[in-house]
Homo-oligomer: A and B are copies of this chain.
Amino acid sequence: MVDERGAVLVKRADAQRSQRKLLDAAIEEILILGGEPTRDAVARRAGVGIGTLYRHFPDLQSLLHAVVVDVLDRTIRAGEVVLSEAATGVDALRGYMHGAVDAGLGVVNVVHASLDSAGWPSQRAAAQDMLNRLIDMARRDGAIDDGVTATDISLATIRFCRPLAIGLDPAAEQEIAHRQLDYFLDGLTAEPGPKRP
């Protein structure tokens, strides 16, 4: 954290503060808007000039990318906690997915579309790894079917994190998502029923 040129480090602190403010502002805007925010709005909410936003994130891609990385990081950390604390695999799975919905992972989805899938590789790998351990744990308990994959969890998490976009307030969105997720998890851990023809 410390190198020989003190002045440079001080500068960086300033920039990091701006970046953090911009990131938080972007996330808030995305959650409020339910879509891609305007640059002006992000800068205004962050309390910095529009030029500062452009210095840190020269195009929309880089801003959205940073937002995704930020939210993924938090989600992965939450998943690790769940893994180390949950009594059973099912508990862990439930804990993780509900946690993701709570964490506002939905932000990821809003920005997902515009991003090249090749981005944020380390987060992607870390998430994949964590999910595999989650599923292994649940399988060892005999709780979930062999057909369930990490991708299933991943995509379902994305689905239940997305806003329904029918004008609901955030609280209602959350409540509905959790209720629907409970049914989904019931299905995941139940005897498989008849499938679609």
Contact = CB atoms under 8 A, between A and B. Distances in A.
Interface in A157-183: 158-160, 162, 164-167, 176, 178-183
Contacts of A194: 90-91, 94
A196 interface: yes
- Give the oligomeric copy count: 4
Contacts of A113: 34, 165-167
A152 B164 contact: no
Interface of A: 34-35, 90-91, 94, 98, 109-110, 112-115, 117, 152, 155-156, 158-160, 162, 164-167, 176, 178-196
21 contacts: A91-B194, A112-B167, A113-B166, A115-B167, A152-B183, A155-B164, A155-B180, A158-B164, A159-B180, A162-B162, A178-B196, A180-B184, A182-B187, A182-B196, A183-B187, A185-B187, A185-B193, A186-B186, A186-B187, A186-B191, A190-B193
